[in-house]
């Protein structure tokens, strides 16, 4: 029997990158997956890939920065699959690059809206749906949920917020069968990163990781899989870095 047999999962930001790897990995391990993204093209492609490999998935378009979209996503999941056992709040953006004293207000609002409020909205409706059965929620933070970096005040603030929010919620629901944890990836080799950075910039990022390379989306997905499963049954309120040694420096 597969680790996630008969489990139902939501993955946000699942149309590409880490979210795509997570959705496919959960499905491969038996979960029925609701693939959610603002990109219908990307999300439907992931659903098609899951189904082609014998998995069960549907797509639901949702903007995580909108509370009503999160509520509708959970309602659609319950209507289609009858339960919710796993949620991965992965959707996020990088935002503008600028010092705090010059940071664009619209970018601040967008980054906080998606990266922090979006996680709260997800928790707000996912928790309610999981109370009858219990479940596992994984919030995608970052190494920048533990340390700072220049030129990304909104992203750093949001990811620190995700770590704190995760701990608070985990304490509230620890005795109700719902485990809530966060994951802190280092810099991961994704299409988004490769599209926006030069080869020189990519090489510079590699030097930040003692392991000598960037991470792969599948490596993050494997950690999420473990946290989603009963193998992590005693784990809640935790922050797990997968960062090639970045935070050990």
Active site residues: 155
Could you tell me the strand order of the sheet in which 239-242 lies?
A: 56-61, 32-37, 8-11, 86-89, 135-140, 178-185, 239-242
The first and second tokens of residue 206, run together, are: 């590699």
String of b and e for 50-87 (b: at least 16 CB within 10 Å)? beeeebebbbbbbbbbebebbbebbebbeeebeebbbb
Where helices occur in 113-175 by DSSP H, the ranges are 118-130, 153-173
Q: How far is CA 149 from CA 66, 108, 155, in A?
A: 28, 16, 9
């Amino acid at each position: 029997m597969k680790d996630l047999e008969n489990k139902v999962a939501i993955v946000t930001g699942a149309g590409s990158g880490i979210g795509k790897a997570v959705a496919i990995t959960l499905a491969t391990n038996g979960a029925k997956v609701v693939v959610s993204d603002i990109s219908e093209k990307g999300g439907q492609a992931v659903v098609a890939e899951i189904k082609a490999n014998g998995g069960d998935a549907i797509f639901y378009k949702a903007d995580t920065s909108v509370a009503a979209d999160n509520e509708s996503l959970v309602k659609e999941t319950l209507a289609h699959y009858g339960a919710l056992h796993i949620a991965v709040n992965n959707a996020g953006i990088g935002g503008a690059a600028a010092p705090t004293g010059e940071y664009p207000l619209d970018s601040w609002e967008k980054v906080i809206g998606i990266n922090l409020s979006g996680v709260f909205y997800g928790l707000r409706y996912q928790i309610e749906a999981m109370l009858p059965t219990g479940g596992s929620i994984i919030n995608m933070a970052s190494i920048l949920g533990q340390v700072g970096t220049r030129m990304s005040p909104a992203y750093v603030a949001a990811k620190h917020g995700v770590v704190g929010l995760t701990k608070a919620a985990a304490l509230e629901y620890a005795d109700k069968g719902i485990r809530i944890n966060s994951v802190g990836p280092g810099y991961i080799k994704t299409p988004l990163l490769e599209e926006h950075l030069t080869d020189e910039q990519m090489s510079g990022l590699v030097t930040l990781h003692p392991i000598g390379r960037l991470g792969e989306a599948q490596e993050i997905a494997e950690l999420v899989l473990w946290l989603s499963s009963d193998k992590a049954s005693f784990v809640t309120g935790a922050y797990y870095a997968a960062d090639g040694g970045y935070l050990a420096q």
